Structure 1
Amino acid sequence: MAPRRQGATGEREAEEVLGCCVPGECLRPREAVRIEDAVRVICNNDTCTAGRYMHRECFEQWETGVLAYLKSCGRARSWSERQRHQNLWTKKGYDLAFKACGCRCGRGHLKKDLDWLPPGAAIRAEEEKKRRRRTRSGRTLPAATDGRSRAFSLSSSGSCSPPSAPSEPSTSPTHAPTHNMTPAKRSSKPEVISDRVRAGAGANGIFSRRLDFSTFNLLPKHKVNSYQIKIEDEGNHGNDDTRLFILSTLAGQHKPRVSCALCKDTLDVFDRYPLVDGTFFLSPRQHTSSAVEVKVEGRTQYLTCVCMGCLERCDPDRTIRCRFCGQKWDGSSLVLGTMYSYDIFMATPCCAERLKCNSCYKPLLHPQQRLNYSDYSHPVTCPQCRVTDTHFVKPLTYCFTKRVYPLFQQWP
């Protein structure tokens, strides 16, 4: 149904329109589409009656499918993820992908209306600019100077650099932080984000809106900055591929909260960076039942989360050790609030037991041989039994224990 109009001059759209026009299944079929949090599309069929508005999360999920189709089309095969996302709704990309944009009316194709802005968007953008200027003019903490290099997360182009070990010095000045984050004042009482705020928050309504950064006051002071905490989108207008991937995936599963893979604590997911008080990662193995299955470049992966307390080992109960050599696993060098494209637990095998084939149990590498961090999550072929598998990715319960002394055992 078309939106109601008001007034003879300066017409504005009403607050709500009925029905989401997304092709396929709507994620919120019982909720009207609110104009201020909708995406407008155009059908090239002039007589289309299917509607022009989608819930934002419905559009993002639908757009993900169109991007997957574009990835298989002609010259778009050589584009990066960022290029495909930027070109999709321009002539350059839409001419290739329009066949995947069929409208519900059955006689036309949909296209995002790039010229449309929700009511009040310009005012909100100006208010956001003023807020950021005030934030930057306030007191800020200096960037980390303890010599530890940054662990790099999945970028919006789809590429990923490995996390650096704590002992490794920073080698690339291009990855130095460019801004600092203003710390929130410490509060004597933990702040609780109300359901009312959560229901109306950002991206698609089911995720929390972060009101402050007080939860990160648990970190050492030298780590409360944008060097250790992801706080800004990388794409234009906040359209960062990593953030959209995580939010659209969790929205499709109706998961506004996630569980830590180690301590099982429940964490709110936020609509802007930092997305969680911890970090996400993708693994070819489902370490916990709460991990969400996704398809990435044709491979089945599991979106998993680890909380800040377990990454930082805030207390002895959160420390895990290798079952074979007793070495502690340390996630404190990882950037908080974003996502890694590989299994962070398996990226630094500490002993020969972690390098064995999952089938014949013979070593795949020499103990001194090392791969890139992300390569340990890729399928490899065992030179002895010729079985192809993600051999280096093993169950957490096989690799780690919380006991002070490791349980030496043979596998299987």
Structure 2
Amino acid sequence: MAPRRQGATGEREAEEARGCCVPGECLRPREPVRIEDAVRVLCNNDTCAAGRYMHRECFEQWEGGVLAYLKSCGRARSWSERQRHQNLWTKKGYDLAFKACGCRCGRGHLKKDLDWAPPGAAIRAEEEKKRRRRTRSGRTPAAPDGRARAFSLSSSGSCSPPSAPSEPSTSPTHAPTHAVTPAKKILSKPEIVSDRIRAGAGANGIFSRRLDFSTFNLLPKHKVNSYQIKIEDEGNHGNDDTRLFILSTLAGQHKPKVSCSLCKETLHVFDRYPLVDGTFFLSPRQHTSGAVEVKVEGRTQYLTCVCMGCLERCDPERTIRCRFCGQKWDGSSLVLGTMYSYDIFMATPCCAERLKCNNCFKALLHPQQRLNYSDYSHPMTCPHCRVVDNHFVKPLSYCFTKRTFPLFQQWP
């Protein structure tokens, strides 16, 4: 009788595995979940009917978003990447991250089933051990972390998470979400535009695979380098938090493309760096209807994009200037293909009008007083009317115009 019970269990598992239960959009909606290559999850809602299995690719992308959330939670902020991976599905980490694990049923939270193994997993594991022993006996083992650097074009510092509490203030205009080491190799223009296709980039989802870097020929030659363009994946196996945060957010909205917040040009989103022909940023204000709402450290933010042409002001029609003082906004120093964790339009207020309360319109700062770039995107209390708001983050139409004269006319 026992074999029959096991067979019935296997049939039920196969039936459940037909549909992927990943929250949000499935990366392979037309493919059933093959149970031998699936990840099993558990929902704490006993009446959940959403399923128990995910495509492995869907699970890894979803897990990446949960890890990005965990990085902003309490004591987990001091953990290393390895510790977060190790603790996520144990009580130590899951108690902090469960809020980011909502199930599609809407009434429970998902957790990876650590006690379940796909059919044949033990046999495959034993075969893999034998293969490794044969490899070790025949040649010198590969250096550790080889896979993590397999597609790197240069070396750089670690990429900060989208929820970083503060930003460095060393950049001449804006500080990117990752530090650049002084010894970083500068790539010549031919090296980038002729770069090889990145094998194993995982472009089997909704995002595009970048075949070449010809779009960056728009840039001046001296800017085609790894300082100005984010081209390296970082973290474990190239899956750093910023990239996973952006891709999981857009996948959840089924958005393989985004639009520029200034010119409305449609931009493809790529599965590896550079993620877009422009740059992303987070703002507490929804500047355009295409900006995607996200939660970062409990605060509502909007993931927004600006194209490379508008950042570089490639033609006069792309130039925007302050409605009050006429100064041009310049985004040419921003790193392309990555994300900033603050509003890049509001990070460098140029005149006193930009420093006024959104409620009583009185000055919040002395005209000569300056904050760090990211601080202008944080809420503060007006000392005059006591209203708490993101006072320095104002609508684009209030701050900028595309007309040279007269000023004080709304953009565009």
- TM-score, L = length of structure 2: 0.67
Greater shift after overlay, 338-347 or 14-23?
Answer: 14-23
Q: List gaps (5 residues or longer) in structure 2.
A: none
C-alpha distance after superposition, 1:30-86 (max 9, x if no partner): 542378996566999999999875235642564367558857987436547885356
Q: For the Cα contact (< 8 Å) 1:45–1:107, is it kept in 2?
A: yes
Q: For the Cα contact (< 8 Å) 1:165–1:333, is it kept in 2?
A: no
- How many residue pairs match? The answer is 410
Q: Partners of 2:380 and 2:133 in 1: how far apart?
A: 50
Q: For the Cα contact (< 8 Å) 1:155–1:242, is it kept in 2?
A: no
Q: Partners of 1:266 and 1:184 in 2: how far apart?
A: 35
C-alpha distance after superposition, 1:79-115 (max 9, x if no partner): 4788535642578635876898799999999765999
Q: Partners of 1:76 and 1:125 in 2: how far apart?
A: 31
User: Cα distance 1:28–1:315, how it changes in 2: closer, same or farther (>3 A)?
Assistant: same
User: Cα distance 1:359–1:166, how it changes in 2: closer, same or farther (>3 A)?
Assistant: closer
User: Cα distance 1:175–1:216, how it changes in 2: closer, same or farther (>3 A)?
Assistant: same
Q: For the Cα contact (< 8 Å) 1:278–1:308, is it kept in 2?
A: yes
Q: For the Cα contact (< 8 Å) 1:377–1:393, is it kept in 2?
A: yes
User: Cα distance 1:363–1:38, how it changes in 2: closer, same or farther (>3 A)?
Assistant: farther
Q: For the Cα contact (< 8 Å) 2:274–2:336, is it kept in 1?
A: yes
Greater shift after overlay, 384-393 or 191-200?
Answer: 191-200
Q: Secondary structure at the match of 2:326?
A: coil
- TM-score, L = length of structure 1: 0.67
Greater shift after overlay, 18-27 or 196-205?
Answer: 196-205
Q: List gaps (5 residues or longer) in structure 1.
A: none
User: Cα distance 1:119–1:369, how it changes in 2: closer, same or farther (>3 A)?
Assistant: farther
Greater shift after overlay, 191-200 or 387-396?
Answer: 191-200
Q: Partners of 1:91 and 1:341 in 2: how far apart?
A: 30
C-alpha distance after superposition, 1:18-39 (max 9, x if no partner): 3224478867655423789965
User: Cα distance 1:395–1:256, how it changes in 2: closer, same or farther (>3 A)?
Assistant: same
Q: Partners of 1:258 and 1:354 in 2: how far apart?
A: 28
Q: Secondary structure at the match of 1:305?
A: strand
Question: How well do the aligned residues superpose, as a CA RMSD in angstroms?
Answer: 9.6
Point out which structure has higher relative CO (alpha carbons under 8 A, 6+ apart): 2
CA shift for structure 1 position 220: 1.1
CA shift for structure 1 position 192: 18
Q: Partners of 2:139 and 2:220 in 1: how far apart?
A: 17
Q: Partners of 1:211 and 1:135 in 2: how far apart?
A: 33
User: Cα distance 1:106–1:224, how it changes in 2: closer, same or farther (>3 A)?
Assistant: closer
Q: For the Cα contact (< 8 Å) 2:36–2:118, is it kept in 1?
A: yes
Q: Partners of 2:36 and 2:288 in 1: how far apart?
A: 37
Partner of 1:143: 142
User: Cα distance 1:112–1:195, how it changes in 2: closer, same or farther (>3 A)?
Assistant: farther
Q: Partners of 1:402 and 1:67 in 2: how far apart?
A: 41
Q: Secondary structure at the match of 1:369?
A: coil
Greater shift after overlay, 43-52 or 360-369?
Answer: 43-52
Q: For the Cα contact (< 8 Å) 2:40–2:53, is it kept in 1?
A: yes
CA shift for structure 1 position 365: 0.7
C-alpha distance after superposition, 1:337-383 (max 9, x if no partner): 00000000000001111111111111111111000000000001111
